[in-house]
Amino acid sequence: MRRHVPVLLAVLLIVSAFAPAAAGQSNAESESTVECEFPLEMTDATGETITLEERPDSIVALQASDAQTVFEIGAEGNLTGMAYSSATGNLERGDRANVGNGFEINHEQVISLEPDLVLAASITSDEDIEQLRSAGLTVYKFERAESLEDVKENVRTTGKLTGECDGAEETVDWMNEQLAIVERTLENVDRPTAYYAMGDGYTAGSGTFIDEVLTTAGVENMAAEVGIESYGQVNPETVVNENPDWIIYPDDRESPPIHESVQATAAYQNDNTIAVNANHISQPAPQVVSAVVSIVETVHPEAYAEAEAELEVSAGNGTESDNESTDDESSGESAIPGFGVPAAAVALLATAGFVTRRR
């Protein structure tokens, strides 16, 4: 399983190197990883409290987001069954059983695998879950992810359930690092409007997961501004009247899935269209952050490049300071000129997203 050192842990180790150790506390103690605890009891979205006496050796992921998260945190070694769909086509299926396409679940296949744990994203019907539970299986249904914070929480929950708490924290750290770069990029930029085209006039309005992705990426969601809630259709005339600056669409379409009249908008005329990885933007899994970054890089290229350059300089300063004498370290002062210990940690945390490339 693939691993990289969690950035937060690295920062804590750096801080401990500069600060005097507390009485009876060694630096080695700060190197501990996040350990899972079993037996484990957790209550899921259906109100059911499940119990795992020990780390599960056999796991089934009913939905694409479940499988994507399992792979991201490094728990795929115990994954015996998963959903087969376009959203899991980039995952290494190997000899893992096909338990359905997410919309339809092969109950008999799931039951035959006799898994210790079944992971079910929120879109899984309660009827499917009850049928598996009636066969004696332990099924955990996740809460609906309506924000990126919800995704992080589901990642941590998946880590606890699968026994990969350390991998889950590493994944959340990576998400935070990338979002920190995005936040820095958007500090002093205007937010253009964007129309998210799903096809047949459908779009994502306020209160949707995609709405948060768009706003996090530094654009104003046109659908939300015209009063569309949840997922619904928008009149092409409304799109033309709003004249969005950008048209964003999932890349499982060859071209923007828009009405012919929408081609009169500034976005289309100026070729301001962005095809975003459909699996990333539509799945409440860690790689949704990659969709955010993709939009930011395209819509705000200069600001993004400037942020990268600034982080390169910061990273260079940090590297140079590592070679300075240990006198500053022993005195509790930061080896990075102009920073105290807490500020140095923050600076290193901010730059880590640029320096570290995950997977």
Q: DSSP for 166-208, please give it.
A: HHHHHHHHHHHHHHHHHHHHTTT----EEEE--BTTEEE-BTS
Asked if 283 and 66 count as a contact pair (C-beta separation under 8 A), the reply is no
Evaluate whether 36-177 and 193-299 have a shared fold: yes
Q: How confident is the model at residue 309 (pLDDT cuts 50, 70, 90)?
A: confident
Compare 336 and 203 and report the one with higher pLDDT. 203
Give me the residue spans of the domains in the chain: 36-177, 193-299, 305-355
Rounded to whole angstroms, what are the CA distances from 235 to 108, 114, 115, 273?
Answer: 44, 49, 47, 19
Q: Is 17's pLDDT higher than 70?
A: no
Instruction: Please give the Cα distance from 299 to 296 (Å, whole number).
Output: 5
Asked if 193 and 245 count as a contact pair (C-beta separation under 8 A), the reply is yes
Question: Which of 117-126, 291-300, 322-331 shows the lowest mean pLDDT across its residues?
Answer: 322-331
Q: 28-61 pLDDT, tens per residue? A: 343 447 889 999 999 999 999 999 999 999 999 9
Question: What phi-psi label fits residue 326: left (phi over 0), alpha (psi between -120 and 50 degrees) or beta?
Answer: alpha
Asked if 56 and 161 count as a contact pair (C-beta separation under 8 A), the reply is yes
pLDDT for 315: 61
Question: Which of 49-63, 98-112, 144-158, 324-338 shows the lowest mean pLDDT across its residues?
Answer: 324-338
Q: Work out the number of other CB atoms within 10 angstroms of the CB of residue 167.
A: 25
Q: Which secondary-structure segment (H or E) carries 52?
A: strand 49-52
Asked if 213 and 281 count as a contact pair (C-beta separation under 8 A), the reply is yes
Q: Work out the number of other CB atoms within 10 angstroms of the CB of residue 280.
A: 22
Q: How confident is the model at residue 329 (pLDDT cuts 50, 70, 90)?
A: very low
Q: What is the mean pLDDT of residues 272-287?
A: 96
pLDDT for 308: 73
DSSP string, 223-292: HHHTT-BSEEE--HHHHHHH--SEEEEETTSSS----GGGGGSHHHHTT-EEEE-HHHHHSSSTTHHHHH
Sign of the Cα pseudo-torsion (243, 246, 250, 251, in order)? positive
Instruction: Please give the Cα distance from 186 to 71 (Å, whole number).
Output: 30
**Radius of gyration of the chain from its Cα atoms, rounded to whole angstroms:** 23
Collapsed DSSP state (helix, strand, coil) of residue 19: coil
- Map tokens 């990576």 to a residue: 174
Instruction: Please tell me the class of the 193-299 domain.
Output: alpha beta
Crossing angle between the packed helical segments 7-18 and 165-185, to the nearest 10 degrees: 90
Those residues with Cβ within 8 angstroms of residue 320's Cβ, 6 or more apart along the chain or in another chain: none
Residue 279: name the closest of 69, 35, 20, 26 by CA: 69
Asked if 131 and 12 count as a contact pair (C-beta separation under 8 A), the reply is no
DSSP designation for 128 = H
Q: Work out the number of other CB atoms within 10 angstroms of the CB of residue 341.
A: 18
Instruction: Give this prediction's pTM.
Output: 0.77
Strand partners of residue 194: 221, 246
Question: Which of 64-73, 239-248, 265-274, 346-355 shows the lowest mean pLDDT across its residues?
Answer: 346-355
Q: Is 12's pLDDT higher than 60?
A: no
Superfamily name with CATH number, domain 36-177: Nitrogenase molybdenum iron protein domain (3.40.50.1980)
Q: Is 27's pLDDT higher than 70?
A: no
